[in-house]
Amino acid sequence: MLIYEAKLIGKPNQYNALDGAIRTGLFVRNSCIRYWMDNKGISKYDLNTYCKVLADNPEFPWARQLNSMARQAHAERAWAAVSRFFDNCKKRTAYGESHSPCRRSKKGRPGKKGYPRFKKNQRRGTVEYKTSGWKLSDDRKYITFTDGFKAGRFKMVGSRDLGYYNPKKDIKRVRAVRRADGYYVQFGVKCDRFADVEPTGRAIGLDVGLKEFYTDSNGETTPNPHNYRKSERRLKRLQRQASRKQKGSHNRRKAGSKVGRQHLKIQRQRKDHAVKLARCVVLSNDLIAYEDLAIRNLVKNRKLAKSISDTGWYQFRVWLEYFAQVFGKVTVAVPPAYTSQDCSECGKRVKKSLSTRTHVCEFGCVLDRDENAARNILIKGLRTVGHTGSKAWGDLDLCSLSEMMSQPGLGGNPHERLVNPKGIE
């Protein structure tokens, strides 16, 4: 699903109406979680039916005001929290079986399982509509929310041209989002995006670093975005200012909103960097291999934490995988074990600490530490790709190939590491 976003321009009372819808969405979600806690073993469909019960309950007149499909959408969110919890509780699958880039959907998560929790009404909030409860103007410049909250007609600013899509068919979700710097609308458009590009004939391995954003297998480095550090200093200052204001005062609220806006700025800078870089990497390579890092574990290491979470590597990876799908390229996430220890030329394992910046092995291979890792990642990536799907060779009779034994790749060379594809003696 592609998301198009625009800012909503309206009157204060319209924003208040949206606040009401957002609060109600949250209410439906939390009520569904409560219902699930009290009635173990219920299904997704029971939650959908429960929406109707909520709406018919005279104690909650607001639940009725929210569009019925929006109520369903929020019940689905509650169910998403429940099923994520169930997935996390499942037995852990073997490494590499999960191809999803989303760490949340990885089955059998160690440690905390994420028992569904109630959500508070915070500054950031959303209300989600499906195909009803809203209406686009003919020129697609205005949106009207038509459910019981009567938020009315908003001007949309900064949206891409929605004219290409059919609002009845293509727009599957509409969300009103409240952020620190205003209200936004998001359109979820169902569309498979494909683009044809010429193959480049290149493959690349990426090693994420602390000093550099990544080092690739050709030895090139991409620096970390520094604008984030700059914005962060400003954020720190704003936070200090806010904490000095008296609690509950108008000034405190104003200062808090400045902090919120600065956070948004940082998020946007990070995303901008991730998107641009990912698109560029995908367009200039046919295969991209990188480590399948559990960012959560890295962030636990407090000394390294900031750099890794700062650089937005995870977000970069999500965009890499997205663009790869769009442009028909291959991405491989390889297990991160030993990528920096092994020699990328001879395979010899050379133990080294984090501070050793150069890889030197006893056979005289000298390489930059990160470049060596990036090469290993590429090698692992190519191996993984070669082993997916069915193999044309079937049971390969190595004996009949004996006259070719001296050629590389057929086992003639005793230093060859992978000789026997199917373990035939």
Instruction: Just list the catalytic residues.
Output: 207, 291, 370
Stretch touching Zn ion by CB under 5 A, among 23-31, 55-63, 346-354, 376-384: 346-354
Q: With respect to Zn ion, which residue has the nearer C-beta, 363 or 393?
A: 363
Provide the minimum distance between the beta carbon of 219 and Zn ion in the complex, in angstroms, as a whole number: 16
Q: With respect to Zn ion, which residue has the nearer C-beta, 202 or 349?
A: 349
Distance CA 148, CA 391 (A): 59
Provide the minimum distance between the beta carbon of 370 and Zn ion in the complex, in angstroms, as a whole number: 16
Is 365 a binding residue for Zn ion by CB under 5 A? The answer is yes
Instruction: Give the contacts of 393 (CB within 8 A, at least 6 positions apart).
Output: 421
Q: With respect to Zn ion, which residue has the nearer C-beta, 324 or 361?
A: 361
Distance CA 26, CA 323 (A): 33
Provide the minimum distance between the beta carbon of 195 and Zn ion in the complex, in angstroms, as a whole number: 40
Stretch touching Zn ion by CB under 5 A, among 299-307, 335-343, 372-380, 393-401: 335-343
Class of residue 144 by CB neighbours under 10 A (exposed 0-12, middle 13-18, buried 19+): middle
Is 95 a binding residue for Zn ion by CB under 5 A? The answer is no
Q: With respect to Zn ion, which residue has the nearer C-beta, 5 or 345?
A: 345
Is 367 a binding residue for Zn ion by CB under 5 A? The answer is no
Provide the minimum distance between the beta carbon of 221 and Zn ion in the complex, in angstroms, as a whole number: 22
- Among residues 159, 120, 151, the alpha carbon closest in space to that of 135 is found at 151
CA angle 203, 204, 205 (to 5 degrees): 140
Stretch touching Zn ion by CB under 5 A, among 75-83, 192-200, 365-373, 393-401: 365-373
Place of tokens 């020129």: 139
Provide the minimum distance between the beta carbon of 360 and Zn ion in the complex, in angstroms, as a whole number: 9
Q: Please, which of residues 135-154 interact with Zn ion by CB under 5 A? A: none
Q: Which two tokens stand for residue 291?
A: 């480590």
Residue from 46, 232, 345, 368 that binds Zn ion (CB under 5 A)? 345
Alpha carbon separation from 407 to 386, 402, 404, 416 (Å, rounded): 20, 10, 6, 11
Provide the minimum distance between the beta carbon of 205 and Zn ion in the complex, in angstroms, as a whole number: 17
Residue from 70, 343, 373, 374 that binds Zn ion (CB under 5 A)? 343
Residue from 81, 346, 360, 410 that binds Zn ion (CB under 5 A)? 346
Stretch touching Zn ion by CB under 5 A, among 50-58, 135-143, 315-323, 342-350: 342-350
Number of residues that bind Zn ion (CB under 5 A): 7
Residue from 41, 363, 389, 392 that binds Zn ion (CB under 5 A)? 363
- Among residues 256, 235, 234, the alpha carbon closest in space to that of 245 is found at 256
Q: With respect to Zn ion, which residue has the nearer C-beta, 90 or 349?
A: 349
Which H or E element spans position 85? helix 68-89
Is 361 a binding residue for Zn ion by CB under 5 A? The answer is yes
Q: With respect to Zn ion, which residue has the nearer C-beta, 81 or 346?
A: 346
Is 242 a binding residue for Zn ion by CB under 5 A? The answer is no
Stretch touching Zn ion by CB under 5 A, among 212-220, 239-247, 348-356, 369-377: 348-356
Place of tokens 């970390």: 224
Determine contact, residues 159/142, Cβ cutoff 8 Å: no
Q: With respect to Zn ion, which residue has the nearer C-beta, 365 or 398?
A: 365
Long-range contacts of 188-193 (CB under 8 A, 24+ apart): 188/1, 188/2, 188/3, 189/1, 189/2, 189/3, 189/4, 189/165, 190/1, 191/1, 191/2, 191/165, 193/2, 193/326
Provide the minimum distance between the beta carbon of 404 and Zn ion in the complex, in angstroms, as a whole number: 27
Provide the minimum distance between the beta carbon of 372 and Zn ion in the complex, in angstroms, as a whole number: 9
Which H or E element spans position 125? strand 125-129
What single-letter amino acid sits at 304? L
User: Strand, helix or coil at 228?
Assistant: helix
Q: With respect to Zn ion, which residue has the nearer C-beta, 127 or 361?
A: 361
Distance CA 287, CA 324 (A): 9
User: Strand, helix or coil at 165?
Assistant: coil
Residues of the shown chain interacting with Zn ion in the complex, contacts defined by CB under 5 A: 343, 345-346, 348, 361, 363, 365
